[in-house]
Amino acid sequence: MGGAASREDSLAVLDAYAAHGGNFIDSADMYSEWVPGNTGHDSEAIIGAWMKSKGNREKMVIATKVSKLSTRPGLSSANIKAAVEESLTALQTDYIDIYYAHSDDETVPLAETLQAFTDLITAGKVRYIAASNYTGARLQEALDISDANGLAKYTGVQNLYNLLDRNEYESDVVKVIENNGLWGAPFYGLAKGFLSGKYTPETAGTKVDTVRDTSVYQDARGWAVIDALREIAKSHGSSVSAISLAWLRAQKGVTTPIASARLAHQVEEIVQVVELSGDEMALLTSLSNK
């Protein structure tokens, strides 16, 4: 939102999502700073204006993040406390439901970061905290520090995970999630849109590739997974996106996958909930392992 999706399209996506009963919206202060003319908080501002126009703030679960905006980098106490005020202003709200450390910051003691988050929770500006882009080891260290010092504790994890990006999550992070009773909400659930099935070998490198670079997935393994997804989607009368997310939703350590929609009609594809058979799960897992 505020990037590949225009303001008008973003508002239409939010309307379509809410119409389906959707209530969990994920953002970050740095979305979409990379677009020429943007300065960050662009996505938050659209979400905030939408909630104000609908009068539905109390019905929404709003997640945003700190540490990667160029003007508010890192996880020092001072930066977190300044950044949250900017996000609250953009979102036109007085509290954030889930506030993420967007990426680990090894230059700042974990205790300092966690104390800052604790202060925000005590002040009522944040309800829960979570971690994104942390290794399993650093996440466990942070959890241990919270326990030892009576500080606010990360409740969940948002790391990269999908059918074609599996190794890091499955070999490292999922163990910490399960051992500590955390929730997992992986990002890039559709692998930058590749797992929506909109790409084909014939369109590789053409205009359809301009929104996000998916070239890393465009190999024999990726196309084999897409072919299988299309066949399974056909048998269920569903979308390729829904099948991709169904596989992800069934994995250990995953509470809910995160997927993006640029246009309202794409919301219809990603809100479908499909239960895959054991054979379908096994086929997708096997193909994506290769």
For the chain, the structural domain boundaries read 1-158
Q: Quickly state the pLDDT bin for 262 (edges 50, 70, 90).
A: very high
Q: Are the beta carbons of 99 and 84 closer than 8 angstroms?
A: yes
Give mean pLDDT, residues 262-288: 96
Residue 278 makes CB contacts below 8 A (sequence gap 6+) with: none
DSSP SS3 for 24: strand
Q: Which residues of 161-173 are buried (b: 16+ CB within 10 A; e: fewer)?
A: bbbbbbeebeeeb
How many residues are recorded in the chain?
290
Does the model's pTM come out above 0.85? Answer: yes
How does pLDDT run across 55-114, given as a tens digit for each residue? 999 999 999 999 999 999 999 999 999 999 999 999 999 999 999 999 999 999 999 999
* CATH code of the domain occupying 1-158: 3.20.20.100
pLDDT per residue as tens digits for the range 174-204: 999 999 999 999 999 999 999 999 988 887 6
Please say whether the beta carbons of 91 and 48 come within 8 A: yes
- 206-227 as b/e: b if 16+ CB within 10 A: eeebeeeebeebbeeebbebbe
Residue-wise pLDDT tens digits, 130-164: 999 999 999 999 999 999 999 999 999 999 999 99
Q: What is the DSSP letter of 276?
A: P
User: What pLDDT is attached to residue 270?
Assistant: 94
pLDDT of 3 reads: 85
